[in-house]
Amino acid sequence: MRPRLLDLLCCPACGSGLQAEAFEEKTGRIINGLLSCVCGQWFPIINSIPRLLLHNLRAQLVERHPEFYKDHASRLPEEVSLHNRDVIGTKVKTQVSFGYEWTIFSDYAVDNFSEFIRPLEGGFFEKKLGLDVGCGAGRHVKHATSLRAEVIGMDLSHAVDSAGRLNQDNPLAHFVQGDVVDLPFRRGAFDFIYSLGVLHHLPDPERGFRSLIPALKKEAPIFIWVYQRTKRKEWLEYARRMTTRMPLPVIKELAWSATVIDYGIVVNLYRLLQRAALVARWTPLRIKEYAKYDFAASYADWFDRLSAPTSHFYSQAELRAWFERAGLKNIETALVEDSWVWGKGKRP
């Protein structure tokens, strides 16, 4: 963790500033250490990433990083609990699912970031500080920093470890493990906030969206993609009632089978007919889209579809209502093919 990050962080329990203690440092960065708050909460810094989680969400840290807790047991304070059980079970399941996904599929390389930022004006990112909400394996952070923005990637899961590795030599990238609802950043910290394909997986997506607004500077924008409501996604929910109850390795095998049918047969048949100029105009957009990618991309997406514990779907009007109820201005919305709804607004 670079010292720069400490100026932006706050305690997700009470909003106060944090004090840092380094257990291990390297080239001016805290590799392992501790963040503490006057309210009694404390948060570990593990492998250069501050882990600002509350409640049962911290249990995964002990399981994932036992060596940290063993090596520094004498320096770690006692745990403080807030006893807030609000949708904790669903959050933990989401944390585990996406942590598994973006570790197994950390090499996922589909570039939908270019489409995501298409409506923005040229030079939008240059020399700004932004927050990537639900950064996954960190590929969008890498894109945004290549456009000369400084970006903090935040994720609920241990996907942040994959993101850190992908951006380990990137001086403009920082990573934090945190919760959207208990946001660990100071008010008015960011020049922009974005979230690509994440908020619809929250138990209460609009609540998560609104929790981000205070972290924006005045006149700063937030822009997002959420799932568009379509019949095929609603039909898939019947299958997900079963798959989301299965162990993640089993879902991985089911996703592989689905990809063999979907990509291996349907998409490749489309490619063959396309070369023979026999493709009908009514070919579904998603088939055309996946014809641009490889088997691995389709495999990762099928795993995502079958494993995400919670998914919500929205119309363009419903997403616009989020921005209106949040009191944002200069609101823009758009449909992205038949998959996403894009929305943007500014904090007044």
The dihedral over CA atoms of 182, 187, 190, 194, expressed in degrees to the nearest 10, equals 30
Same-domain status, 187 and 322: yes
- 135 and 28 in a single domain? The answer is no
3-state helix, strand, coil in the chain (%, to 5): 40, 20, 35
Tell me, yes or no, whether 92 lies in a domain: no
* Mean predicted confidence (pLDDT) in 168-189: 96
Euclidean distance between CA atoms 11 and 34, whole angstroms: 13
Examine residue 290 and state whether it is found in any structural domain, yes or no: yes
Q: Residue 226: which H helix or E strand, with range?
A: strand 221-227
SS3 286: helix
| pLDDT score of 276 more than 80 | no
Would you say 195 and 319 are in contact if contact means Cβ atoms under 8 Å apart?
no
Residue 232: HSE in the Cβ half-sphere, 13 Å Cα cutoff: 9
- Judgement on whether residues 62 and 31 belong to the same structural domain of the protein: yes
289: domain range? Answer: 245-307
Question: Given a cut of 70, is residue 280 above it in pLDDT?
Answer: no
Q: Which of 67, 85, 103 is the last residue of a domain?
A: 85
Answer whether residue 345 shows pLDDT above 50: yes
Q: Report pLDDT digits (tens) over 110-160.
A: 889 999 999 999 999 999 999 999 999 999 999 999 999 999 999 999 999
Same domain? For 299 and 217 the reply is no
The 10 Å CB-count burial string (b at 16+, else e) for 29-54 is ebbbbbbebeeebbbbbbbbbbbbbb
**pLDDT at position 81:** 57
The Cβ-side half-sphere exposure at 329, using a 13 Å CA radius, reads 5
Both tokens of 3, joined, read: 């010292």
Q: Are residues 19 and 134 in the same domain?
A: no
Kindly state whether residue 236 falls inside one of the protein's structural domains.
Answer: no
User: How far, in Å, CA of 33 to CA of 214, rounded?
Assistant: 28
- Specify the pTM: 0.92
pLDDT at 83: 47
Residue type, 85: R
| Token pair listed for 200 | 């619809």
Task: Give the residue-averaged pLDDT of 186-197.
Answer: 97
Are residue 223 and residue 337 in the same domain, yes or no?
A: yes
Query: Which CATH number covers residue 172?
Result: 3.40.50.150
53 & 159 share domain: no
Q: What is the rounded average pLDDT of the residues 82-96?
A: 69
Q: Which residues pair with 342 in a beta bridge?
A: 225, 334
Looking at the structure, tell me whether residues 14 and 62 fall in a common domain: yes
- For residues 200 and 299, membership in a common domain is answered with no
Q: Is 1 helix (H, G, I), strand (E, B) or coil?
A: coil
Are 259 and 275 found together in one domain? yes
Which tens digits make up the pLDDT trace of 255-275?
A: 999 999 999 999 999 888 887
Write the DSSP symbol of residue 55. Answer: G
Assess if residue 107 is contained within a domain.
Answer: no
Residues 183 and 207 in one domain: yes
Does residue 105 belong to any structural domain of this protein?
Answer: no
Number of domains in the chain: 3
Is residue 149 situated within a structural domain?
A: yes
Instruction: Flag whether 106 is in a domain.
Output: no
Among 66, 85, 104, the domain boundary falls at 85
Residue 120 and residue 24 share a domain = no
Kindly state whether residue 238 falls inside one of the protein's structural domains. no
pLDDT digits (tens, 9 = 90+) for 57-86: 888 898 899 999 999 999 999 876 554 544
Pick from 48, 40, 39: nearest CA to 6: 48
Section 321-332 average pLDDT: 98
